[in-house]
Structure formats: C-alpha cells, structure tokens
Amino acid sequence: MNSTTGHIRSFVRREGRITGAQRHAIEQHWEQFGIKFNHAKIDLGKIFHRPAPKVLDIGTGMGEATITLATSHPGNDYLAAEVHRPGIGSLLRQIAANRLTNVRICNHDVIEILQYQIPMNSLDMVYIFFPDPWPKKRHRKRRLISQTLLNLLKPCLKSHARVYIATDWQDYAEHIMEVFAGDSEFINLAGPGRFAPRPHWRPLTKFETRGYKLEHPVRDFVFSCRK
C-alpha cells in the first residue's frame, strides 16, 4: 500500500535480470536524462529546453516504442514513466545511441508523479500502451486505469488533450471503457461504447505481437478531456 496516497500499486517492483549494458547506461546517462522523484513540480519547458507538445508515456517497458515515437516525431517531448531498472537502462542506452534530446525518464509510480510532479495544464497527450492486465480476479484492484488515475490526470491535461490506450485483454478493455464512460469530463472520440481504430503511428510492441500470437484482439481507445 502506498503510504502517501493510499492507493494500491499497479506494479510489483522487481529487479529482474539487468545486463551490464543497461547498468552502464544508468550509471552514465541517468544524470542527464533521469528525473528524480520529489514533491516539487517539474518545469517541463526547462528540462526539455523548449516549448513543444508534451507527452506522458506510461509504462515504457524496454523502451522500443518510446524511442520509435521520439525519433519519428522530434517535435514532441516525451516524459517516460517506468519503474523497472532493466527497462530504464535499456531506454537510456537507446536515448544515447540515437542522440535524442526529447526524452526524459521518471523512475517512480506514475500515480505519485501525477500527484506531485506534473504541472497543471501541461500535458498534450498521454500514452498507456499495454498496461499490466492483472488478469486474475483477485488482482484486478491493481489495474492502473481507474477513477483514481483519471482524477489525477485531469488537472495535468490541457484542454482537449488526448489519452491513447491499447490493450489485448478483452475484460480489461471492457473495464477501461466503463471507467472512462463513468467520467463526464472525458469524451470517447470513437463514440460511446466504441473502440478506436489503431493509430497508424503507434509502434508495434512485443506485447502486441504476443497478443496476436495468443489470438487476443487488440483494442485501442482515444479519449479527449473536455476542460
């Protein structure tokens, strides 16, 4: 249980196997691209050194999709939220290898990042691609997408900001639809109760590939915040 906000974490922090290259990337590049968690608001314009659309990318895994997006859309700035060190090391290594300047990383629970660090009216887009589905019924309380998340997101979003979500778990897709439908400040841009077409720009992730192999239908969502 989170002692500050009282919420149940949507992840289990486990080190996993971290490679030498990932560890080296953390040692060499965290100071430049990492953002330490504290209770102060981040000056996004200052850390990216420019005014540009700001994207919060939640749960970036090993970082391949984030790197593809940041490379393909250099006009956007990407704030990656990831808690697992192997993924952070992998993302840092790729940022340095591609000489990217438009990615920064937060190594902390995104619920607290939203609560304490993201300024009001600062985000243009939020990506939540293939969040942990917590498929067992007793674990579903751990699912990231909840009214708690929405309540923290809304103050941080600009008017008409977009929230993009994808999952390959049908019951989680139904849960997502229900949570957003219950909040009048979000509009389903595909229409009430409808899934969105797959965005052409969304990279194919290993989780999506695995879902296809398991014959799981991939569901996309696009919501707008009517502030």
Mean pLDDT of 187-196: 98
- DSSP state string for 47-97: HHTS---EEEEE--TTSHHHHHHHHH-TTSEEEEE---HHHHHHHHHHHHH
Q: Percent of the chain at pLDDT above 70?
A: 91
Torsions phi, psi for 78 (to 5 deg): -115, 120
Q: First-to-last CA distance in the chain?
A: 31
pLDDT at 12 over 80: no
pLDDT at 90 over 90: yes
pLDDT value for 211:
76
Task: Tell me how crowded residue 101 is: count the other CB atoms within 10 A of its CB.
Answer: 15
Cα–chain-centroid distance for residue 82? 8
Band the pLDDT of 209: cuts 50, 70, 90: confident
| Mean pLDDT score of the chain | 91
Location of structure tokens 């579903």: 140
- DSSP state string for 98-148: TT-SSEEEE-S-HHHIIIIISPTT-EEEEEEES-----SGGGGGG-S-SHH
Query: What's the number of CA atoms in the CB half-sphere (13 Å) around residue 182?
Result: 13
Mean pLDDT of 212-223: 90
Q: Is 131 exposed, middle or buried (0-12, 13-18, 19+ CB in 10 A)?
A: buried
pLDDT in tens, 24-81: 999 999 999 999 999 999 999 999 999 999 999 999 999 999 999 999 999 999 999 9
Mean pLDDT of 120-124: 98
Band the pLDDT of 16: cuts 50, 70, 90: low
pLDDT at 11 over 50: no
Mean pLDDT of 86-97: 97
Band the pLDDT of 6: cuts 50, 70, 90: low
Question: Which residue ranges form the domains of the chain, and what is each CATH number?
Answer: 38-225 (3.40.50.150)
pLDDT value for 216:
86
Alpha carbon distance 71, 91 (integer Å): 13
The CA–CA distances, whole Å, from 184 to 70, 98, 187, 224, 226 equal: 32, 41, 7, 11, 8
Q: Which residues contact 191 (CB under 8 A, 6 or more apart)?
A: none
Q: Tell me how long the chain is.
A: 227
Q: What residues are labeled active site?
A: 132
pLDDT at 3 over 50: no
pLDDT value for 8:
56
Contact by Cβ (8 Å): 131, 167 = yes
Q: Percent of the chain at pLDDT above 90?
A: 81
pLDDT in tens, 135-170: 777 656 879 999 999 999 999 999 999 999 999 999
Query: What's the number of CA atoms in the CB half-sphere (13 Å) around residue 190?
Result: 18
pLDDT value for 1:
31
